[in-house]
Amino acid sequence: MKSILLIIFIAWVLPIKTIAQGNLLITPVRVVFEGQKKMQELNLANTGKDSAKYLISFMEIRMNEDGTFDKINEPDSGQHFASSNLRYFPRTVILAPGEAQLVKIQTIKTNQLTAGEYRSHIYFRAVPHENPLGEQIPAMDSAGISVKLIPVFGITIPVIIRIGASTTKVTISDLAMDDSIPYQLNMLFTRTGNFSVYGDITVNYISPQGKTTKVGTVNGLAIYTPNTKRHFHMKLDNKAGINFHKGRLQVIYNTKTDNTPASELAQTELELK
């Protein structure tokens, strides 16, 4: 009999105030160092019924124009990693059920950095429980193969260092309803300047009579440097029986920062036909 152990890595790279995956809850979901800020904390909590162990490391990530991510080892043109200017502790966390612990992240040698944005992602990887001593694989004939799948969950949190003043701007264009997918709005975000952006999208329907109804929201949309474009597809709410062939749609992108209230960075409208 042959046995095969397959470990499936499930990594979540999610730009939201709280992330939960595999019984691990993390707050906040992004860390930005700017100005005089040198130290920040992440709160990890085990929401499961069993003890859990997590290994902590850095991961370098590329964002694609469709919002997907690739793990990379070398920065793209115009991209700068932050990991060499960061340290964190502890590097391993073991949490009992219902237990929480802080992970501290600190910047180092930032006085050596030139103006711009530096980004890496801190990675929390769950360590699978070892099989109890004496556990046996179910018996089968000698020619059979036993396969055991073990999912390994991981969460990444962006950690960003910003040096200098922001010159970033965002525009929204190419708005179009997708006739092949009911109530889907397609749009293109274009970012210029030196920093990434992160914020919430709100879509309002404005009837021919001027009545405004909110028909969609998406929280936590990011456009990371060095990307200048992001294509986005958004489902709209048709519960109110809105006629998406009359009136117009208003799209608002409100940015979020750690130090200031949310502010509108981009807005545009689509005349419906």
pLDDT of residue 152: 64
Angle 57-58-63 from CA coordinates, rounded to 5°: 140
User: What residues have CB less than 8 Å from 268, skipping those under 6 apart?
Assistant: 171, 172, 173, 175, 250, 251
Map out the domains of the chain as residue ranges.
Answer: 2-163, 169-271
Q: What would the pLDDT profile of 67-116 be if each residue is shown by its tens digit?
A: 999 999 999 999 999 999 999 999 999 999 999 999 999 999 999 999 99
Tokens of 126: 């769950």
Class level of CATH domain 169-271: mainly beta
| First vs last C-alpha separation in the chain | 65
Q: How far is CA 58 from CA 40, 45, 179, in A?
A: 16, 20, 42
Question: Is the overall model pTM greater than 0.75, yes or no?
Answer: yes
**Which residue in 29, 26, 32 sits closest to 260, CA to CA?**
32
Class level of CATH domain 2-163: mainly beta
Q: 169-271: same fold as 2-163?
A: yes
